[in-house]
Amino acid sequence: MRHQPASGAASGPQCDSPGLRHHVLFAEADPARRHSLYRAYLRPWLDRPNLTVLTGALVHRVVFDGRRATGVEILLRLRSADPLAPLAIEAGFLSDPADMTTARACVELCRALGNAPAFRPFVRGEAMPGPLKGDALDLYIRDAAVTYWHQSCTARMGRDKMSVVDATLKAYGVDGLRVADASIMPRVTTGNTQAPCAIIGERAAGMIRQEHGA
């Protein structure tokens, strides 16, 4: 589950408490109501002796005994001597030149469409970015681009060479390691990603319970 600042995030005012992000499933009957996955899935089990919840801990690497994953090594990376200061996050957005090439092409295509004669009856004019080129266009893109918050698919489920987990969420070539989050999606869902993440978690729990007879 995602950590969410108490305020200041794009959906901050809609989140009803600090700490673990309160993930959202929209109910048709009451569109304003948000449901907390933390409350539904985690809080009821917090007193279990075999459950430890660590916040503010950055997993540095998975620890192996041979091929078997036995634990994780935690690295605490602080911004300052103040232990309560937020951790530094380096997302590396647009650090791959191919992503900038794609983003430039995307902006140029959108400008061409928006400025096309066929749209003239419907638009008053281009608001941004205008005819920027080169570094100015790159700067605009770096400043304006957002992820739409649906990062996923970096450890996708499948059977080809690029797949990381099998149909039971087990990582290929590693014993004792399952991945259960948005990263296993073979491709990003067309709708929002939180509900699929909840289902991935539920399926993982069911498969682990079945395998270990709990």
Ligand X SMILES: Cc1cc2nc3c(=O)[nH]c(=O)nc-3n(C[C@H](O)[C@H](O)[C@H](O)COP(=O)(O)OP(=O)(O)OC[C@H]3O[C@@H](n4cnc5c(N)ncnc54)[C@H](O)[C@@H]3O)c2cc1C
Residue positions annotated with a catalytic role = 150
Least distance to ligand X, CB of residue 146, Å: 9
Q: Are 22 and 36 in contact (CB under 8 A)?
A: yes
Q: Are 4 and 22 in contact (CB under 8 A)?
A: yes
Contacting residues for 63 by C-beta, under 8 A, at least 6 apart: 69, 70, 71, 72, 73
* Window of 108-116, 117-125, 171-179, 186-194 that interacts with ligand X by CB under 6 A: 186-194
Q: How, if at all, do strands 68-75 and 3-4 pair?
A: unpaired
Q: What distances in angstroms separate CA 95 from CA 99, 101, 132, 146, 148, one per listed residue? A: 7, 11, 21, 14, 18
Task: Find the binding residues for ligand X in span 49-68 (CB under 6 A).
Answer: 57-59
Q: x/- site string to ligand X, residues 11 to 30, per CB under 6 A?
A: x-----------xx------
- SS3 state of residue 43: helix
Residue closer to ligand X, measured from CB, 101 or 168: 168
Question: Which pair of tokens denotes residue 69?
Answer: 């994953």
The only residue of 164, 165, 169, 182 in contact with ligand X, by rule CB under 6 A: 182
Residue closer to ligand X, measured from CB, 138 or 181: 181
Residue closer to ligand X, measured from CB, 2 or 111: 2
Give contact residues for ligand X (rule: CB under 6 A): 1-3, 9-11, 23-24, 57-59, 149-150, 181-182, 192-195, 197
